[in-house]
Structure 1
Amino acid sequence: GASKTGKVGLFELARGGILFLDEIGELPLNLQVKLLRALQDKEIMRVGGVEPIKVECRIIAGTNRNLMEMIDKGQFRLDLYYRLNVIPIMVPPLRERQEDIPVLMNYFINVFNEKYGMKKRLDNSVYNCLVEYSWPGNVRELENLMERLVVTSINNIITIKDLPANIENGSAQTEEDKRLIPLRQAVENTERELLENAFTRYRSSYQVARVLEVNQSTVVRKAQKYGIKH
């Protein structure tokens, strides 16, 4: 909705577009009724308003809660569930998407390097360790960890010693128990380590390309992919 001063609300801002409703399972029952009415009638009433306002937008709702269990407990409306559950998309937890973990690590490291004016990089051992971690907090836990490492690590290269004890211990395995990692991930880990070592010794992408015997454009592209500053 909108404020009494006439500020446009989210439904009006999303008119003709897409409105993302995150953590829909946390919505109180009284607000679920209002949301259902807005979806059914395609109109809203501003706070303090007297005339309904027509709105039409696509809705994407997200939650990590089991809505069917909440319905059984009377915590979520069945009619709202079916109104929202037109095209369900199930996103597996991060622990089941190991190939996504290094990509997300690189992304968040770059984001927080830029935010804090840092030039931190991750040692290869950190990638191997975090791929084996169970990530009960999913992507948000990974994001928070990357920010913590950028801010608190002393050296520019973040090593396994910089990890919190619970994560380091939670991913520890014996050699017999250690799982094989996907071939693509192993190749990417090797590429990243080679490029990091090469850029430590040589100043330019041209020199690195000569040493690694690849095109300079390949070096530049992969350096960008892995967030390697040069």
Structure 2
Amino acid sequence: MNEVVVVVAHSERATLRVGDVFLKVDADQARIDVEVEAMALAPVPTPQVLWHKPPVLAITAVPGTALGRLGEPSPASPTAWAAAGAAIRKLHDAPLPPWPGGQAGQDLDELTADLDGECEWLVTNGVLPADLVTRNRQVAEAALRPWTPVFTHGDFQITHVFVDGDEITDIIDWSEAGQGDALFDLATLTLGHEEHLGDVVAGCGTDVDLDVIRAWWALRSLLGVRWLVEHGFDPFAPGCEVDVLRSRM
């Protein structure tokens, strides 16, 4: 008999694996709806939807292995990282989906307010040193600029990109997809893996403002620390969000 394996679980959502089927349970029905529609529209490899009955989405297991994990050296080749960049470019060149994205498409005034609120919380509660927060808030400013919307994945982290050798076999977790900033996806993929930024940009095949990429690293990390702590994850682990912030000093 197949075992039930908990892939990830917190108060907002959970993913279980039973044999070759993944069951995603989400408290927010809108996220599941977005995921189903985004996978249908995306011109890149995505899991097959088996059935969708709120609040559960059943999808097939994907072939290959994850591109890597935050805080660990990636086992994937530079060519595989470049292939991930090419997949991002293909997605960004696709027609826009008819809905806004998550953080990648957030209104600039709202995003700025959220960022300033998190920075204040991090310092007031003694979570991070004031100089570390202040420096990264300065770096993050470069991401707070007008951008042309593209079809973004919205959570293009390395654990969501699967490869077999140098080929992209699947891209998973589309609940944050929508119209957003192209550089947000590139920054999410390379967060904590700056050594592969050149490979990704080469695969993407377009001019990229590296200062904005670095700004998104700082911004995402500043916004993520409290959420990660409150949901049972460790942003202080080696190579993770707090180390990303320290690298900007």
Q: TM-score, length-normalised on structure 2?
A: 0.27
Higher helix share: 1
Structure whose CA Rg is larger: 1
- Return the structure number with greater relative CO, CA threshold 8 A, min gap 6: 2
Q: TM-score, length-normalised on structure 1?
A: 0.29
Higher strand share: 2
